[in-house]
């Protein structure tokens, strides 16, 4: 492999121009904008009304293209729309939404947009960008579940043995220990890396789960 291969790959990813447009009107939660070259699922930035140029992203709001009406893109913002005006600049960021992956993500706490929520350093350049929309795998080519997986909890290993690649549901009422069990699995399971997504979790319980149930030992993986 040539020492310049990595540099060539980075150069291929550089955007030499921006596709941009303007907000035309708002319809409830949807923002209508003129945005050339945008497609369903495209990610864009709605800039502040006083933004001086397309590179002034301070205070900009992320949005996703969810449809079209009369050749105009319908955007669903990920953030509050308070203060947004007709005429705001809209910059197309990605044709297909992606997420950065790499070793720098280990031990970090991120929001739904992949931005750090903890007080750690900036993520910097991640090794790879992967689309969040993936084709489903061929069911006939999936690896069969044959090897047991040590979850680090003797009761589960002995009574409800799980295999590598298996899916398991944990269902119970509130306050009976689901989060505690999840923290135990994260700390003790025989896995190199754990990916934990708190979807629909109460905001007030996130810090409690990370600091009490997961702890430094679980977070480092």
pLDDT tens-place values along the chain, 221 residues long: 566 666 666 666 655 557 888 899 888 889 999 988 888 999 999 988 887 777 777 888 899 999 999 889 999 998 888 878 888 889 998 888 888 888 888 888 988 888 888 888 888 778 788 888 888 889 999 889 999 999 999 999 999 999 998 888 888 888 888 888 988 998 999 988 889 888 888 888 888 888 888 888 888 88
Instruction: Tell me what pLDDT residue 66 has.
Output: 93
Instruction: Tell me what pLDDT residue 15 has.
Output: 58
**Chain mean position to CA 117:** 13
Q: Is 133 within 8 Å of 96 (Cβ atoms)?
A: yes
What's the pTM value of the predicted model, to 2 decimals? Answer: 0.71
Instruction: Tell me what pLDDT residue 7 has.
Output: 67
Q: Is 93 within 8 Å of 84 (Cβ atoms)?
A: no
Query: Mind listing the domains of the chain with CATH numbers?
Result: 5-96 (2.40.10.170), 136-219 (no CATH)
Instruction: Tell me what pLDDT residue 151 has.
Output: 93
Instruction: Tell me what pLDDT residue 11 has.
Output: 62
Instruction: Tell me what pLDDT residue 77 has.
Output: 92
Q: What is the signed CA dihedral for 75, 77, 82, 85, rounded to 10 degrees?
A: -30
Instruction: Tell me what pLDDT residue 17 has.
Output: 59
Alpha carbon distance 4, 194 (integer Å): 33
Integer CA distances (angstroms), 193 to 31, 106, 153, 164, in order = 39, 8, 18, 14
């Amino acid at each position: 492999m040539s020492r310049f291969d990595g540099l060539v790959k980075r150069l291929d990813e550089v955007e030499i121009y921006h596709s941009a447009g303007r907000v035309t009107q708002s319809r409830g939660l949807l923002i209508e904008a003129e945005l050339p070259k945008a497609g369903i699922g495209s990610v864009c930035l709605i800039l502040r009304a006083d933004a001086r140029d397309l590179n002034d992203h301070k205070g900009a709001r992320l949005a996703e293209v969810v449809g079209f009406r009369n050749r105009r893109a319908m955007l669903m913002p990920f953030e509050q729309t308070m203060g947004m005006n007709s005429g705001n600049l809209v910059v197309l960021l990605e044709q297909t939404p992606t997420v950065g992956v790499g070793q720098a993500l280990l031990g970090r706490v991120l929001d739904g947009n992949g931005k750090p929520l903890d007080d750690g350093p900036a993520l910097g350049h991640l090794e790879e960008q992967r689309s969040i929309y993936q084709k489903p795998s061929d069911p006939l080519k999936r690896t069969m579940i044959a090897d047991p997986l040590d979850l680090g909890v003797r009761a589960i290993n002995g009574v409800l043995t799980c295999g590598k690649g298996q899916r398991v549901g944990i269902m119970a009422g509130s306050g009976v220990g689901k989060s505690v069990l999840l923290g135990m699995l994260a700390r003790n399971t025989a896995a190199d890396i754990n990916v934990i997504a708190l979807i629909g979790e109460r905001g007030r319980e996130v810090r409690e789960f990370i600091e009490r149930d997961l702890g430094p030992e679980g977070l480092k993986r």
